[in-house]
Structure 1
Amino acid sequence: MTLAMSWDEWTAHDGTALAARVRAGELTPSELAAQAAAGIALTNGPTSAVVEVFDDVVADPLKDGMHPDGVFAGLPYLMKDLGPTLKGRLQEMGSQLMQGNRASADSFLTGKLRQAGLNIIGRTTTPEFGVCSSVENDLFVTRNPWNLDYTTCGSSAGSAAMVAAGVVPIAHATDGGGSIRIPAGVNGAIGLKCSRGVFSIAPGLSDLSGLVSTQGAISRSVRDMASFVDHCRGGAPGEFMPYWSAPEPYADLIQRDPGRLRIALVHQWGDFAATPHIAGELERVGRFLQGLGHEVAWAQPVVDIRAAFEAQTFCYISNFAQTIESMLRTLGLDRPPADKVEPINIKIWEAGRDASYAQRFAMQAAFNSTARGFGSFFEDWDILLSPVTALPTPRVGTTEYLTTSDNPSVHDWFENLWRNFAYTPIANLCGIPGISLPLAWNEHGLPLGMHAQTRQAGDGLLLQLAAQIERAIGGRWNDGRRPGVHVTAGQG
């Protein structure tokens, strides 16, 4: 098959640039879709990141209702196999239990994606129900394109791998505690978790009932992320809360540098701390930001991190237990079958299905005090910068982080998770934005994201800072390096 361009030319374009060429009549959505499908064929063998390619949509980009006049003009897009549904398509959530589950309608956000001109050409991998930090089960083992011995982390595992491997410039992701930012961070991509009230999770939940989980994307360029937010944000009819809009489009805002920012660095976080190497990388990036004219110092919010993580753990257990319970009811089952649901997810269901309102109220009180503490901190500081993880990327087969773990205690299992993924969950608890930027390297020579957070509704400031950094480094994220498994490397 003859492709529209070489792989070097393909990866030199971000989504915005490809869309501009479509609008200029130089390329067609069909040519873009064929190129992306060829990229999946080149890289999916070693990475195991894509569940399914929609061949009919590759052949006819208009088949499922993509709006070709949208800002992305038919750009190929991959959807994580969790969250928004696609009418008539399978959504199996990384789960044996949900094999063959087919959606009857598009979710609200799916409609926004299509209106934005994103051509959804396939599904990417996620762990079972998106719960754990890596895709490693009987269905898929998704591997890091930088080094196949290591995981992509998760839960937006396949999307991060496909963006890193140069297959698509941007892909769908979800984030309930870091599931956008962590895989972006360990795969050398950009991952933004927006504030509450940006992306709708209708019709099934709202940002108030879902509380910690949100939608988003992983990208290679800041301007693609800015346009994605601009054109896919907004609430559906009947939301429990107003969905806010920014004073100006982020695509315009990021053209200007932010003013001099007060940036606080942190890597000791309650009982959790980064390795000396990762702490050193944070310090190095802090000096770089100082060189851009920002004020940089060590500081952190005055909050009870231990209480915050206990509340966050309870939130996950009670939320996921009800998610599993609703699936069981749909399937006419009394309990999760042990041959089709992973052990930790069964323990989550057992621990959380009868959670009381009194427990939920105590959780909400801890959420409130934590959010107030962060709010007070951001009266004095503009940005809180940490690594995206405290420990280096786990190797494939590190079962302590997996829902296939034999850990007898679900609370100990979560505690173990927090020791590595310590810096991202609080943003979900508080409803504040966080972005992971590929600026550093861990001990194994793999990408390490730097994680910037700011006050509620400060999403534009994070993108503005990210764009300033991107200009300062000449667009050369990851020092201009590419992973070994990459479309430009053929079979890698």
Structure 2
Amino acid sequence: MTLPMSWDEWAQQDGVALAERVRKGEVTPAELARQAAAGVAKVDSRLSGVVELFEDVIADPAKDGANLAGPFAGLPFLMKDLGPTMKGRLQEQGSLFMRGNRAAADTFLTGKMRQAGLNLIGRTTTPEFGVCSSAENPAVYVTRNPWNTDYTTCGSSAGSAAMVAAGVVPIAHATDGGGSIRIPAGVNGNIGLKVSRGVFSIAPHLSDLTGLVSIQGCQSRTVRDTAAFVDACRGGAPGEFMPYWTAPEPYMELIKRDPGKLRIALSHQWGDYTATPHIAAELERVGRFLEGLGHHVGHAQPAIDYRAAFAAQTTCYISNFAQVINNMLAARGLERPPADLIEPVNIRIWEAGRNTSFTERAQMQAVFNTTSRGFGTFFEEWDIILTPITALPTPKVGTTEYLTISDNPSVLDWFGNLWRNFAFTPLSNLCGIPALSMPLATNEHGLPLGIQAQAKQANDGLLLQLAAQIERALGGKWNDGKRPGVHVTAV
């Protein structure tokens, strides 16, 4: 099979560039889809990041309604196997319990993606129901980090992160309920933006504020691909329960200009959780780099009750997730989760959360309010706060304490293990503020380490502006210009 371009040429271009080549008539959407499918065939036996490819839309990109005249012009795009559904396609959510689950309709955001010209060519791996930090159950699949396959991609947007990092596609779908876009972006060397509340719709699913701790988005390798995705796919469905907002100008225009001098705070400690000395030193190094770009850099953090915030976040996960399981059980006429089909920690979460009282939820939401206002007060004084994406180095494959196949009898202790490593990401979900992972550092093992920038609500554009300024200063060379060992360009 002859491909339209060499792998070096393919990997050097982002989604915006490939779409422009389609518009110029240099390449067709079907040729792009064929090249992406060949990329999966080249690397996925070592990474296990793709669940299924859709051969029909690889052959005919317009078949499922992709608008080939849209801004992405038929660009091949992989969908995390969780969140937005695709009519007639399987969505199995990383679970044996959901095997054979086929969607009856597109969700609202799926329609926005198709209208943007994205050709949804397949499904990528996720841990069961997106709950834990690694797509790693040997009974389902084990997704590996393309930089070093002894290590995990983290999660829950595991397969999408691996495929973007390995050069298979320039951009892929991801979701983020506590860091699930940013953490895998951070440990795989990608760009990952968790947008503010009120950007991407999850219609027809739950749209109250606690349902919206989980945010849709993408993984990419360039700032402009993420900006173009947000510009094209944002907006609420008719009758949304909460307001949706639009930026004063398209982010694709905004990122062409540098931001003004920013007040940037650094923090490598988040309540009880502290980054390793190596990771803290990497944060300091990035802070000095930003000073060199003309920004004011200091040390500060929001004055909030971190223990209360993490406890509220944990209550939110446990109670939300128990209801998700309840709905699945009701659809099948079951009383409790089958132990041979649902992973043990997820069953324990269901047991812990199914009888959550209104009082407990009201207390949780009160903490959401005080935490969000604490961050808001902080952002009156500072424009951005910079933290590492993780407090600890990337776990090796088989580190079960982070997995829902863990035998930990205590749900709260299990979540405590998660927070020890992934402390810096979830509070932005609680507050509905934007947060961006940028591939600017490395951990103790030489693997990528994302540096996270957070800003006040609806300041998503400022984060992208800063990232674009950094990208220009680096000459486009994120990750010091290095590529992972498992990559489409490697022999």
Using the size of structure 2 for normalisation, the TM-score is 0.99
Q: Is the Cα–Cα contact under 8 Å of residues 266 and 300 in structure 1 kept in the other structure?
A: yes
Superposed CA offset, 1:146-174 (max 9, x none):
00000000000000000000000000000
RMSD: 0.6
Q: Which residue does 1:279 correspond to in 2?
A: 280
Q: Is the Cα–Cα contact under 8 Å of residues 131 and 403 in structure 1 kept in the other structure?
A: yes
Q: Per the alignment, in what secondary structure is the counterpart of residue 488 of structure 1?
A: coil
Q: Which residue does 2:83 correspond to in 1?
A: 83
Q: Which residue does 2:194 correspond to in 1?
A: 193
Q: How does 1:6-85 map to 2 (within 5 A)?
A: 6-85=6-85
Give how far 1:447 is off: 0.1
Give how far 1:206 is off: 1.3
Instruction: Tell me which stretches of 4 or more aligned residues in structure 1 moved more than 3 Å.
Output: none
How many Å separate the matches in 2 of 1:331 and 1:238? Answer: 30
How many Å separate the matches in 1 of 2:367 and 2:243? Answer: 24
Q: Is the Cα–Cα contact under 8 Å of residues 265 and 382 in structure 2 kept in the other structure?
A: yes
Q: Which residue does 1:459 correspond to in 2?
A: 460
Percent sequence identity is 76
Give how far 1:56 is off: 0.8
How many Å separate the matches in 1 of 2:270 and 2:198? Answer: 27
Q: Is the Cα–Cα contact under 8 Å of residues 49 and 143 in structure 2 kept in the other structure?
A: yes
Give how far 1:242 is off: 1.5
Give how far 1:238 is off: 1.3
Superposed CA offset, 1:375-397 (max 9, x none):
00000000000000000000000
Superposed CA offset, 1:206-231 (max 9, x none):
15251310100000000000010001
Q: Which residue does 1:127 correspond to in 2?
A: 127
How many Å separate the matches in 2 of 1:406 and 1:91? Answer: 27
Superposed CA offset, 1:210-259 (max 9, x none):
13101000000000000100010000011001110000000000000000
Superposed CA offset, 1:438-460 (max 9, x none):
00000000000000000000000
Q: Is the Cα–Cα contact under 8 Å of residues 181 and 388 in structure 1 kept in the other structure?
A: yes
How many Å separate the matches in 1 of 2:318 and 2:270? Answer: 22
Give how far 1:332 is off: 1.3
Q: Which residue does 1:175 correspond to in 2?
A: 176
Q: Is the Cα–Cα contact under 8 Å of residues 88 and 102 in structure 2 kept in the other structure?
A: yes
Q: How does 1:121-270 map to 2 (within 5 A)?
A: 121-137=121-137, 138-206=139-207, 208-270=209-271
Q: Per the alignment, in what secondary structure is the counterpart of residue 21 of structure 1?
A: helix
Q: Is the Cα–Cα contact under 8 Å of residues 135 and 156 in structure 2 kept in the other structure?
A: yes
Give how far 1:128 is off: 0.3
Q: Is the Cα–Cα contact under 8 Å of residues 109 and 232 in structure 1 kept in the other structure?
A: yes
Q: Is the Cα–Cα contact under 8 Å of residues 196 and 207 in structure 1 kept in the other structure?
A: no
In structure 2, stretches of 5+ residues that fail to align are none
Give how far 1:144 is off: 0.1
How many Å separate the matches in 1 of 2:291 and 2:252? Answer: 25
Give how far 1:205 is off: 1.6
Q: How does 1:392-403 map to 2 (within 5 A)?
A: 392-403=393-404
Q: Is the Cα–Cα contact under 8 Å of residues 201 and 207 in structure 1 kept in the other structure?
A: no
2:101 maps to a residue whose letter is N
Q: Per the alignment, in what secondary structure is the counterpart of residue 359 of structure 1?
A: helix
Q: Is the Cα–Cα contact under 8 Å of residues 200 and 207 in structure 1 kept in the other structure?
A: no
How many Å separate the matches in 2 of 1:232 and 1:204? Answer: 17
Q: Which residue does 1:434 correspond to in 2?
A: 435
Q: Per the alignment, in what secondary structure is the counterpart of residue 390 of structure 2?
A: coil
Superposed CA offset, 1:52-104 (max 9, x none):
00011101101111000110000000000000000000000000000000000
Q: Per the alignment, in what secondary structure is the counterpart of residue 487 of structure 1?
A: coil
Q: Per the alignment, in what secondary structure is the counterpart of residue 439 of structure 1?
A: strand
Q: Which residue does 1:337 correspond to in 2?
A: 338
2:431 maps to a residue whose letter is C
2:226 maps to a residue whose letter is M
Q: Is the Cα–Cα contact under 8 Å of residues 210 and 316 in structure 2 kept in the other structure?
A: no
How many Å separate the matches in 2 of 1:408 and 1:426? Answer: 25
Give how far 1:349 is off: 0.3
Give how far 1:331 is off: 1.3
How many Å separate the matches in 2 of 1:489 and 1:207? Answer: 46
How many Å separate the matches in 2 of 1:268 and 1:437? Answer: 19
Q: 1:71 to 1:259 in 2, by over 3 A?
A: same
Superposed CA offset, 1:421-446 (max 9, x none):
00000000000000000000000000
Q: Is the Cα–Cα contact under 8 Å of residues 146 and 487 in structure 2 kept in the other structure?
A: yes
2:271 maps to a residue whose letter is G
How many Å separate the matches in 1 of 2:425 and 2:272? Answer: 15
Q: Which residue does 2:294 correspond to in 1?
A: 293
Superposed CA offset, 1:166-193 (max 9, x none):
0000000000000000000000000000
Give how far 1:3 is off: 0.2
How many Å separate the matches in 2 of 1:113 and 1:135? Answer: 25
1:67 maps to a residue whose letter is N
Superposed CA offset, 1:100-139 (max 9, x none):
0000000000000000000000000000000000011111
In structure 1, stretches of 5+ residues that fail to align are none
Q: Is the Cα–Cα contact under 8 Å of residues 207 and 213 in structure 1 kept in the other structure?
A: no
How many Å separate the matches in 2 of 1:259 and 1:161? Answer: 34
Q: Which residue does 1:104 correspond to in 2?
A: 104
How many Å separate the matches in 2 of 1:182 and 1:320? Answer: 20
Q: Per the alignment, in what secondary structure is the counterpart of residue 324 of structure 1?
A: helix
How many Å separate the matches in 2 of 1:417 and 1:47? Answer: 23
Using the size of structure 1 for normalisation, the TM-score is 0.99
Q: Per the alignment, in what secondary structure is the counterpart of residue 150 of structure 1?
A: coil
2:201 maps to a residue whose letter is S
How many Å separate the matches in 2 of 1:74 and 1:204? Answer: 27
Q: Which residue does 2:325 correspond to in 1?
A: 324
1:90 maps to a residue whose letter is L
1:126 maps to a residue whose letter is T
2:327 maps to a residue whose letter is S
Q: Which residue does 2:472 correspond to in 1?
A: 471
Q: Per the alignment, in what secondary structure is the counterpart of residue 97 of structure 1?
A: helix
Q: Per the alignment, in what secondary structure is the counterpart of residue 90 of structure 1?
A: coil
Give how far 1:268 is off: 1.2
How many Å separate the matches in 1 of 2:270 and 2:433? Answer: 17
